[in-house]
């Protein structure tokens, strides 16, 4: 099933129940995928860091619903949800996390390097704000090639304080590039409350100061995200100029799998935990008359699918050693290659 649940008939109309159920399933798929990824990490089966986006699923699903499959999307260190929602194969992604052959990047990249150009996924990125500059390049390429694709970049509130983000805002506005900036504002940059280290009136004002029009929405409200993202993507595509979307959300887990996030204010955390985008969507679906059985099936189906991906990943072979030398620019000493041939 294609997780990127776009509905071209939707413009100006409420989505059909089928489309809404498919989006619910994708949010559950992301959550189940990341719960399984954390389990794999603690079991020692997944090497390297695992950053979960649990609690932020409506941002990924809502923005990707507005993008075409051939639009580009650049992601962050917290990129599983973005990749799944953009249409990457979650089974290949799980193999990638387990470091196995058949993974999205041959099992050699892991969580922070998942890319799938076939669905426009430019890649996760371990360097804060650097995915944004890749998207700028993709947007510029679309102009040069005369394509009507656009590029979007997801980034966090912490990334707003990095130079490349400001360079990207400036360049896309100055040149006129079709790019949607999406600030996924979960209030924290690793262990730091972003507000404590950020000057000025906020991300939208910063974008507007550089000539990029900005709008904001509740990033935990999936229908609201789809609506605003669809309108902004359409504008960016038609007008060939950048726009900035600020989405407020909350990271329900620590910065990375082992982080217990004790640095957060307990009362505020408890309050924020009451607003779960998946639960909120389920309440909205029930209120719209969608039967419980269909809602429960979306969740169960996603969890069963993820269990299957994990089972496949556990028994898949590791890539052969010689593949350490493929897909890399600098081969080092060529004589070394012979040892692995």
**What residues make contact with ligand TPP under the rule CB under 6 A?**
76-78, 126-128, 155-159, 186, 188-190, 251, 255
Compare residues 193 and 240 and give the one whose CB is closer to ligand TPP: 193
Minimum gap (Å) between residue 44 Cβ and Mg ion: 28
Compare residues 20 and 253 and give the one whose CB is closer to ligand TPP: 253
Question: In 3D, which of 34, 83, 44 has the Cα closest to residue 302?
Answer: 34
Residue 220 interacting partner from ligand TPP, Mg ion, none (CB closer than 5 to 8 Å by kind): none
- DSSP-assigned letters across all residues of 6-54: --GGGTTSPPPHHHHHHHHHHHHHHHHHHHHHHHHHHTTSS-S-----T
Q: Per rule CB under 5 A, is residue 120 in the interface with Mg ion? A: no
Residue 249 interacting partner from ligand TPP, Mg ion, none (CB closer than 5 to 8 Å by kind): none
> Distance between CA atoms of 203 and 326, rounded to whole angstroms?
40
Residue 159 interacting partner from Mg ion, ligand TPP, none (CB closer than 5 to 8 Å by kind): ligand TPP
Q: Check if the beta carbon of residue 255 is closer than 8 Å to that of residue 169.
A: no
Compare residues 133 and 194 and give the one whose CB is closer to Mg ion: 194
What's 70's DSSP letter?
T
Minimum gap (Å) between residue 91 Cβ and ligand TPP: 25
Is residue 170 within a helix (H) or strand (E), and if so which, with residue range? Answer: helix 163-175
CA distances from 248 to 29, 216, 233, 264 (A): 21, 8, 18, 17
Among 34, 157, 221, 282, binds Mg ion (CB under 5 A): 157
Minimum gap (Å) between residue 178 Cβ and Mg ion: 26
Minimum gap (Å) between residue 51 Cβ and Mg ion: 10
Compare residues 3 and 75 and give the one whose CB is closer to Mg ion: 75
Q: Say how many residues touch Mg ion, by CB under 5 A.
A: 5
Biggest CA–CA distance in the chain, Å, is 67
Q: Record the tokens describing residue 46, joined without a space.
A: 């997944």
């Amino acid at each position: 099933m294609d997780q990127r649940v776009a509905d071209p008939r939707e413009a100006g109309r409420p989505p059909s129940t089928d489309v809404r159920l498919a989006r619910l399933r994708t949010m559950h798929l992301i959550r189940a995928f990341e719960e399984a990824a954390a389990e794999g990490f603690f079991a020692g089966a997944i090497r390297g860091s695992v950053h979960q986006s649990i609690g932020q699923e409506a941002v990924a699903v809502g923005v990707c619903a507005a993008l075409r499959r051939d639009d580009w999307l650049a992601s962050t260190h917290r990129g599983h949800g973005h990749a799944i929602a953009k249409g990457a194969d979650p089974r290949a992604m799980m193999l990638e996390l387990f470091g196995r052959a058949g993974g999205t990047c041959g099992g050699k990249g892991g969580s922070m390097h998942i890319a799938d150009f076939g669905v426009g996924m430019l890649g996760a990125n371990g360097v804060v704000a650097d995915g944004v500059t890749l998207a700028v390049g993709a947007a510029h390429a679309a102009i040069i090639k005369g394509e009507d694709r656009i590029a979007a970049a997801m980034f966090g509130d912490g990334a707003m304080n990095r130079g490349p983000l400001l360079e990207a805002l400036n360049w896309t506005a100055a040149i006129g590039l079709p790019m949607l900036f999406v600030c996924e504002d979960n209030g924290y940059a690793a262990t730091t409350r972003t507000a404590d280290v950020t000057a000025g009136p906020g991300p939208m004002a910063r974008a507007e100061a550089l000539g990029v029009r900005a709008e904001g929405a509740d990033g935990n409200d999936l229908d609201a995200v789809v609506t605003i993202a669809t309108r902004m993507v359409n504008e960016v595509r038609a007008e060939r100029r950048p726009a900035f979307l600020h989405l407020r959300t909350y990271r329900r887990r620590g910065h990375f799998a082992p982080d217990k996030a004790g640095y957060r204010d307990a009362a505020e955390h408890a309050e924020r935990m009451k607003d779960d985008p998946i639960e909120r969507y389920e309440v909205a679906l029930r209120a719209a008359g969608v039967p419980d059985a269909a809602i429960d099936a979306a969740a169960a189906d996603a969890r069963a699918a993820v269990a299957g991906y994990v089972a496949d990943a556990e028994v898949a072979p590791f890539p052969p050693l010689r593949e350490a030398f493929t897909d890399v620019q600098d081969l080092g000493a060529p004589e070394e290659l012979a040892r692995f041939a």
